[in-house]
Structure 1
Amino acid sequence: MSWLRAPGADDDKRSMGVLGVVTGSERYPGAAVLGVEAAWRAGVGTVRLWAPRRVQDLVLARRPETVCHELEEEPTGVDAWLLGSGQDSRERPTALRTLLDAALGSGAPCAIDAGALDLAGQHRGAAVVTPHAGELARMLRALGRDVDADAVRAAPVDSARSVADALDVVVLLKGATTHVVAPGAAAVAVRAPTHRLAVAGSGDVLAGLLGAALASTAADAPRGERLASLVAAGVRLQGRAAALAAEGDVPIAALDVAERLADAQR
């Protein structure tokens, strides 16, 4: 996991990677808190959040280091983007759509989650999408395939590969066994070390971790199979953090996983 590096004497908050985050909403503000927390814990140098004021306030209460912007502010000065967590494409204001289009069209690598998955394919840079089975089924239906979530679960690798090839993205299909598929490359399967990850918000934590990985490696710009390898490493790191948080098989919350990312790195 090459992005997990200690800063050197010549590093600063810029050289350690700047992640632009467009997540959270009035309905689901916590997704931004979880993703931003995970990004910081994964070692990114700077996190810049574009979000409604309520979302900004909750994030700043947890992580005051975060630089916050209104949705209408110009999206510049980032190395990679995290998009869509805690959002619903059916409730997308004009300012948010404009911002998402600009981020996807910027050429910077993007981690595309939840409420931005319908825009996958509009990206100009490297991209990873992070659907669960139901979301991947919706993506396949948008591509003309008549499938449902059960069909995706029955053929996870083939389903993920169809989207990867059609949209030129790395697909991370979430589940107890997560499948990572890049166009034209072998699939990677990562089995979760604990089922305690089956809690709301764990996907938001994973998205924040992946966003940090993209920002920290943007200068090297991994794509295809190399990007898939990076993504699979991120899945393993989250699994290790969850196992540490759930030691003794105790219940956990998603924020517990984010908080144990540093321990997982050690």
Structure 2
Amino acid sequence: MNNRIVLTAILAYFISVSAFSQVGINNTNPTTTLDVNGGISLRESVAPLKINDGVSENIDLGEVPYSQYLIEGPTGAFSIKSIKPISGADGQIVRLINSTGYDMTIVNDKMANSLGILCPNESNLNLKGKNSSVTLQYSKSLRNWTVLGYASKQGMRKIDAIGKSNIHRQNSSWDTFDELDIEITPSSPLIYLNFNATGRRDFSASAKFRILVNGDPIPGLEIRASNSGGSYNASLPMYPLEVTPGEKIKFSVQWFREGIGASAIYNHPSSNQSHNRYLTIID
């Protein structure tokens, strides 16, 4: 009986040591829980991860999740909002590589969704260009995925809208300043607006302009033209505007004729080379 007790105690000792020991691979003297002397391979899924256009939610990585996936399927800009982790996961890592030429947006979780993703600065992460990628890790305590790292095409982009047709305005009310519509999905939280309009005016008329975001005027922003003889010029250089990366925005411009009677303002770039109108957005 005593021998059995001693044997049981010895086995329990070795089991407890094994449970809390450090493991070395190609290393007989590990200094951490896992100490690898050599390279580590994180295998990529044989099958690509199929993603649809628009926003994808609750993405299933399959019965046997891999650490790396090649994204295929989108025919336009797409967004990833939530991914199913392994049951009970804490620390699961997955890298997603965009094999398409379209922008990939990682949507920041604002609703405390346990499958959602927490992005840096609590704003959407817009990744541009083919082979852009994001590496995510699941946190059990946060109950969310977090961004470990990402790679994206660098550099600012400029989007222009230039009016070319002849137009004029005679009524004292706001109306569309033609051909200055821009629709973008910004990648930065701060973009810059540049606007210019030069044209002719009747003697008692003057012009003012405003820029609309998704149909609503930017609060407190009216651009009044300066007058010189029978001409006017309105300019707005590098106006900063805070936006949400990854969320589509539509910009447009309106103009207003101030004056009395039948006086008018004109913008005739197709027949007068001194006239112009343009809207430029720098993202």
Q: Above 0.5 in TM-score?
A: no
Of structures 1 and 2, the one with the larger relative CO (CA 8 A, separation 6+) is 1
TM-score by length of 1: 0.21
More helix by proportion, 1 or 2?
1
